[in-house]
C-alpha cells in the first residue's frame, strides 16, 4: 500500500537560514511525488513534482526537492527561508487515480 | 491562471442532514477529486472521478458519500446523513492528467 511519512511535525528556522523538510514514501511502483504548501485557512498550492528523469526538481518560490530511490525519500529544500514561507507543507505520492498525503510539517520562521 | 471554485465556502448543518458540496473544475480537465482535511490533520484522499465514473475511492468514502457530475461543469460531493466526525475542510481538485492537480479553496463543513 502506498504511504507517505513526514517525520517532522513542526520545524522552526530563522529567516535566511536553509531549510530541509523530510519525506519518505512507500509505493509499489514508480512513484509520482509532490510537495504542496498550505497557508492557514487556504487551499493547497503545488510547489513541485517529480515524475521521472532528473532527480533534482526545481519548483516555485525557490524550492527544490531531490528524489532518492535508494532511500525512498523526496526531501524539500530551500537555501534561504523567507518569513512568508511559514506554512504547512505536505508531501504526497500518487498516480492518476489517487494521491496520498503525508501528515504535514508546520514551518515556523523566526525573525 | 484558471482556477477551481467551490461553493459554499462554509456550510453548517445539523447531524443527520444531507449536504451537497459543489465544485466547478477547470473546464478542459478530465480528472476530478475530492479530499478532506479534518482540522489540524493531514489531507485525506476521498475519491477520484474520470469518464463519468469513480476511478478509485478510499476507505473513508463509504455508502454515505456519493459524487456526481450532473452537467458539464459541476462536480458535487454528497453526504447523505452527516455525522459529527464529517466536520472538516473538503477540497475539490481537477487535472488534465497527473501533471498538476489544481485544488479549490475548500469548503469548511461544520456538523452540529
Arithmetic mean of pLDDT, A65-72: 93
C-alpha cell at B89: 475542510
Q: pLDDT, tens digit, for every residue of B12-62?
A: 999 999 999 999 999 889 899 999 999 888 889 999 999 889 998 999 999
pLDDT of A5 strictly over 70: yes
- What is the predicted pLDDT for the residue at A53? 86
β-partners of residue A84 are none
Residue A43: closest C-alpha in chain B = B105
Q: Do B97 and A96 touch (CB under 8 A)?
A: yes
In the block, residue with C-alpha cell 442532514: B17
Q: Is B41 an interface residue toward A (CB < 8 Å)? A: yes
Q: Give the pLDDT of residue A96.
A: 66
Average pLDDT estimate for A45-61: 91
Interface size A-B, in CB pairs within 8 Å, comes to: 57
Q: What is the mean pLDDT of chain B?
A: 91
Question: Is B50 an 8 Å CB contact of chain A?
Answer: yes
Answer for the pair A2, A99: CB distance below 8 angstroms, yes or no: no
Mean pLDDT within A44-53: 89
The pLDDT assigned to A51 comes to 86
- Chain A residue with Cα closest to B104: A43
Average pLDDT, chain A: 91
**Cell numbers representing residue B73 in the block:** 461543469
Res B99: pLDDT: 59
| A30 contact B CB<8A | no
What is the pLDDT, as a whole number, of residue A61?
94
Predicted pLDDT of residue A37: 94
Shortest Cα–Cα distance, B27 to chain A (Å): 18
What confidence tens digit (pLDDT) does each residue in A85-98 have?
A: 999 999 998 876 77
For residue A42, give the 3-state DSSP assignment. Answer: coil
- Among B50, B97, B103, beta carbon nearest to A43: B103
How far, in Å, CA of B101 to CA of B98, rounded? Answer: 6
Chain B within 8 Å of A51 (Cβ-Cβ)?
Answer: yes
> Is there a cis peptide before residue B8, judged by omega within 30 degrees of 0?
yes
- Residue A29 pLDDT > 80, yes or no? no
B77: pLDDT confidence band, cut at 50, 70 and 90? very high
Contacts of A97 in chain B (CB under 8 A): 48, 50, 55-56
Read off the pLDDT band of A21 (50, 70, 90). Answer: very high
Residue B98 reports pLDDT greater than 70:
no
Amino acid at each position: 500500500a502506498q504511504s507517505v511519512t513526514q517525520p517532522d511535525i513542526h520545524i522552526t528556522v530563522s529567516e535566511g537560514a536553509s531549510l530541509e523538510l523530510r519525506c519518505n514514501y512507500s509505493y509499489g511502483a514508480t512513484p509520482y511525488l509532490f510537495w504542496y504548501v498550505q497557508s492557514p485557512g487556504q487551499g493547497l498550492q503545488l510547489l513541485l513534482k517529480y515524475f521521472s528523469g532528473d532527480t533534482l526538481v526545481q519548483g516555485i518560490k525557490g524550492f527544490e526537492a531531490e528524489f532518492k530511490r535508494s532511500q525512498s525519500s523526496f526531501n524539500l529544500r530551500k537555501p534561504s527561508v523567507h518569513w512568508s514561507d511559514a506554512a504547512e507543507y505536505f508531501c504526497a505520492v500518487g498516480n492518476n487515480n489517487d494521491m496520498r498525503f503525508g501528515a504535514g510539517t508546520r514551518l515556523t520562521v523566526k525573525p | 491562471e484558471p482556477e477551481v471554485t467551490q461553493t459554499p465556502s462554509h456550510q453548517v448543518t445539523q447531524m443527520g442532514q444531507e449536504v451537497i458540496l459543489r465544485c466547478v473544475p477547470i473546464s478542459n480537465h478530465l480528472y476530478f477529486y475530492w479530499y478532506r482535511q479534518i482540522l489540524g490533520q493531514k489531507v485525506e484522499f476521498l475519491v477520484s472521478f474520470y469518464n463519468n465514473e469513480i476511478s478509485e475511492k478510499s476507505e473513508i468514502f463509504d455508502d454515505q458519500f456519493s459524487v456526481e457530475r450532473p452537467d458539464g461543469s459541476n462536480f458535487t460531493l454528497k453526504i447523505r446523513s452527516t455525522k459529527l466526525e464529517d466536520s472538516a475542510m473538503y477540497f475539490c481538485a481537477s487535472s488534465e492528467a497527473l501533471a498538476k492537480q489544481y485544488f479549490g479553496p475548500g469548503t469548511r463543513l461544520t456538523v452540529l
